[in-house]
Amino acid sequence: MRVVVQRVAQAAVVVDGKTVGEIGLGLMVLVGFRPGDGEAQLHWMADKLIGLRVFEDAEKKMNLSVADVGGRLLLVPQFTLYGDCRKGRRPGFSEALAPDQATLLFDQFCGLVAQLGPLPKRGVFGAHMQVSLVNDGPVTLIIDSPQRQA
């Protein structure tokens, strides 16, 4: 499982001209899955996001989590996070999880995040989305979950 996390002052997702998810202060998170991802990766990542200390404290140190600052999360499914651009000029997506399986994991992941912190807003899996955000900092992190043990 891979996420791209951006600390934002605001973010929104629009589908077919309608805003389907919108937050103020918080984290905008692009979420991708690979074959082999399962419950362990979902729990690990949900816990990581809720506790991730990327917001500044009174001393201007990144020492506070999204929960500490009363922020929100906007979760956006993004299969292209597993795009492979090493060969040729067109990315390959063989490392991305099939859409039917990834949709189930995304729904489950959103539920886990809601159990640990504030109810997340979310994008729409498989839809053409327009994502806008004001990156605060800027702060952008790429986080990969540990792989499933064989």
Contacts of 5 (CB under 8 A, 6+ apart): 27, 28, 29, 49, 52, 54, 140, 141, 142, 143
Question: Which is catalytic among the residues 6, 33, 41, 79?
Answer: 79
- Phi, psi angle pair for 103, to nearest 5°: -60, -45
Q: 99-116 vs 39-51: helix axis angle to the nearest 10?
A: 40
Catalytic: which of 6, 41, 78, 125? Answer: 78
115 in active site: no
Sort strands 72-77 and 129-144 into parallel, antiparallel or unpaired: unpaired
Asked about 79 being catalytic, the answer comes back as: yes
Amino acid present at 135: N
Active-site residue, from 19, 80, 101, 130: 80
Angstrom distance (rounded) from CA 85 to CA 73: 29
Distance CA 70, CA 3 (A): 21
Return the active site residues: 78-80
